[in-house]
Amino acid sequence: MSKSKYDRQLRIWGEVGQGALEEASICLLNCGPTGSEALKNLVLGGVGSITIVDGSKVQLGDLGNNFMVDERSVGQSKAKSTCAFLQELNDSVKAKFIEESPDTLIVTNPSFFSQFTLVIATQLVEDSMVKLDRICREADVKVVFVRSYGLTALVRVSIKEHTIIDSKPDHFLDDLRLNNPWPELNSFVETIDLNVSDHVAHKHIPYVVILVKMADEWTKSHSGNLPSTREEKKEFKDFVKSKMISMDEDNYKEAIEAAFKVFAPRGISSEIQQICNDSCAEPSSNSSDFWVMVAALKEFVSNEGDGEAPLEGSIPDMTSSTEHYINLQKIYLAKAEADFLVMEKRVKNILKKIGRDPSSISKPTIKSFCKNARKLKVCRYRRVEDEFSNPSVTEIQKCLADEDYSGAMGFYVLLRSVDRFTANYNKFPGQFDGGMDEDISRLKTTALSLLADLGCNGSVLPDDLINEMCRFGASELHVVTAFVGGIASQEVIKLVTKQFVPMLGTYIFNGIDHKSQLLTL
């Protein structure tokens, strides 16, 4: 791994994430501008290997929207030309190409896809999407469907299950346990006197100590309960403020600002509880490492954790004397290490019980799981076939009636309608000169028929949207493909690194209204 080469991204997903990228094998179906833009971002990011599948030749028109081909490429294999250009961007990426139509490959050689970590399927029609999704689910291969069509685009992730340990939420409460301190933290807090006469010492008591002490005092006079009502919370903050000697005490200001951490509910969140109660949390010999660790977490929460997940072990910056801060750090780290050792023992016991090597899950993996135990995510995606044949009628009708979402839902319906149109008329609406009015009329009829099949009788699409769809003529505009290619590659990185949470639903880009929206169908 070249740390200097990938320095910026290493700061985002770390060496573990970069390692996962460098081991990944990515297959791209169709290397028009949409596919080329998505793959370009991954090649620059240092993905392990790429395979491009495209049976077409470079035409003169391709030079206007695809930067991965040039005049010398005209008449040549599009897959070969694109592969060569991408290889120039990062020679450490292994690249190969196959000159064959993806639609044909899906039908004739379904086992081909099982060799890849992930497939980026671009510009496929509905029938091929359904077939590929079925194949990849059986082979446990991730798929990202991407389609660009004029000023609109679609991105859809498909995988049976995607589990995430390091979900990196934007905002998350520090794991300080101010509302549920453990004995060692309580013992340390008791050694510090809030009524110390030395003004400098008083100004450098960490807010963690202040809040644990204040919370303890509060519960003694409130039947063991922490503040819960709005009035009580305000009263508690005033109680903390009353302990200030002067207005320049930043540590007390920090305590007042962080008082909400005392009010937070104890124990694990409902989302983590739901994961612990999942049927997959009953481990078997086929269980993934993730679910084995969830089973251990479930045991830990019910026993040693006393309702809590393992402690993360880090504390934020705060106004404090160096001595107090270092002592606090040691206490939090010691508790986190103790929780990890208990979790490690439980993981090994479970592995032994299900007939697997007790050391098959590494210490760093268990440690990472413990550190992120409050942030676990499980994403499950509907099969594309189910979405197409049995979408949520209520959701479709709600979106069509909603001014904010009607454009996205309209484009979703029309993207599916153009595939029906193509199946009937062997061309996309507006693809060739002449006959535009007839294509508009036919597309409108096709869209109404699709809406009726989806159970949305009486729903209509705006004529302007239908006219625009025909005006697009199935073109891939570079400005749109560059944008949606970036979106798609971002989702690929989330899936491969197992960091951040990938999109759940069907993403629609509306270039007319400049909107990006997610539809849950």
Q: What is the DSSP string of 207-266?
A: HHHHHHHHHHHHHHTTTTPPP-SHHHHHHHHHHHHTT-SSTT-HHHHHHHHTTHHHHSPS
State the CB neighbour count (10 A cutoff) for residue 40. Answer: 21
Please, where are the H alpha helices in 372-462?
384-389, 393-401, 406-425, 436-453
What's CA 40's distance to the chain center, in Å? 20
Pairwise CA distance, residues 126 & 486, whole Å: 23
- What residues does each domain of the chain span? 1-160+477-519, 183-262, 270-317+337-379, 390-472
Pairwise CA distance, residues 325 & 330, whole Å: 9
Q: What pLDDT, in 10s, does the model give residues 457-508?
A: 888 899 999 999 999 999 999 999 999 999 999 999 999 999 999 999 999 9
Type of residue found at 160: K
DSSP state, residue 315: -
Structure tokens at 90: 């990062």
Backbone angles phi, psi at 230, to 5 degrees: -60, -40
Q: How many residues does the chain have?
A: 521
Backbone angles phi, psi at 169, to 5 degrees: -65, 150
Pairwise CA distance, residues 119 & 188, whole Å: 54
Type of residue found at 238: D
Element (H, E) at 61: none
Identify the pLDDT of residue 1.
58
Q: What pLDDT, in 10s, does the model give residues 84-123?
A: 999 999 999 999 999 999 999 999 999 999 999 999 999 9
Pick the closest to residue 208 from 230, 182, 235, 246 (CA basis).
Answer: 182
Identify the pLDDT of residue 6.
83
pTM metric for this prediction: 0.91
**Rounded to a whole number, what is the distance in angstroms from the first to the last CA of the chain?**
40
**Residue 479, C-beta contacts closer than 8 angstroms, at least 6 positions apart:** none
Q: Tell me which residues of the chain have a pLDDT lower than 50.
A: none
Q: Are 130 and 384 in contact (CB under 8 A)?
A: yes
Structure tokens at 410: 């309209």
Cα dist from 306 to 311, 332, 375, whole Å: 12, 17, 18
- CATH of span 1-160+477-519: 3.40.50.720
Backbone angles phi, psi at 322, to 5 degrees: -60, -40
**Residue 65, C-beta contacts closer than 8 angstroms, at least 6 positions apart:** 32, 33, 475, 476, 477, 478, 481
